[in-house]
Chains A and B, each alone.
Chain A
Amino acid sequence: DSGVTQTPKHLITATGQRVTLRCSPRSGDLSVYWYQQSLDQGLQFLIQYYNGEERAKGNILERFSAQQFPDLHSELNLSSLELGDSALYFCASSLLPGLSQPQHFGDGTRLSIL
């Protein structure tokens, strides 16, 4: 158990809809990362938050947004969903960015767009 909790584990929805994925980092970790794993793109970094503030952006679409709340949990919002958004979405956390400590991953949310 990594200590990172992601909900829901599975999500099935239709094109054009909007969903929210939730992540609770490990106790004490201040930094949260979101990754997308798909068959064609592999594992891609989407966005990073540290102590409530956005720190870095990767290949995140404009239809996607995220935030980190004062209690340090994070949400990834995906809107106007397309078939190609079907993927496994991981959240990872670390104590502080920039240290040698590794990122610990949650079990992921499997998003299926019908």
Chain B
Amino acid sequence: AQTVTQSQPEMSVQEAETVTLSCTYDTSESDYYLFWYKQPPSRQMILVIRQEAYKQQNATENRFSVNFQKAAKSFSLKISDSQLGDAAMYFCAYRSASNSNSGYALNFGKGTSLLVTP
């Protein structure tokens, strides 16, 4: 089974600054998808950004971008110009592109709690 590791339980950033959240994963598959989800105190799971493994270009969504290093099995999230509303738990997730035993379910890391200070 694929494992997703988020080595930073907590991170802190000042408003308007940039922060990078780390994620590594373990897989023997060549085709898969990676996601970052945000979970604010309201507990909703909100999709932040996604990356297809076959694409070399790093995904970007406004202030959010990823650094996808396929060979290193690394998928970090960069948040630029951090805002108070970015404070949340961030989860990295892996999804196979093939119908494995777990179907197309998401495999989540343990999460990184991001604190944004004024």
Contacts and interface: CB of A to CB of B under 8 A. Distances in A.
Question: Range of interface residues on chain A?
Answer: 20 to 34
A43 interface: yes
Instruction: Identify the interface centre among A44, A94, A103: most chain B CB within 10 Å of its CB.
Output: A103
A43 B101 contact: no
A56 B105 contact: yes
Contact of B99 (A92, A94, A98, A104): A98
B105 A48 contact: yes
Nearest to B43: A108
A43 B105 contact: no
Nearest to B108: A43
Interface of A: 2, 31, 33, 35, 42-45, 48, 55-56, 58, 88, 90, 92, 94, 97-98, 100, 102-105, 107-108, 110
Nearest to B109: A42
A45 B44 contact: no
B47 interface: yes
A36 to B, nearest CB: 11
22 contacts: A35-B106, A42-B110, A42-B111, A43-B91, A45-B102, A45-B105, A45-B106, A48-B103, A55-B103, A56-B104, A58-B102, A97-B103, A97-B104, A98-B99, A98-B104, A102-B35, A102-B50, A103-B106, A105-B37, A105-B45, A105-B46, A108-B44
Chain B residues touching A, majority SS: loop
B4 to A, nearest CB: 10
B54 to A, nearest CB: 10
B16 interface: no
B112 interface: no
A98 B96 CA distance: 8
A104 B35 CA distance: 12
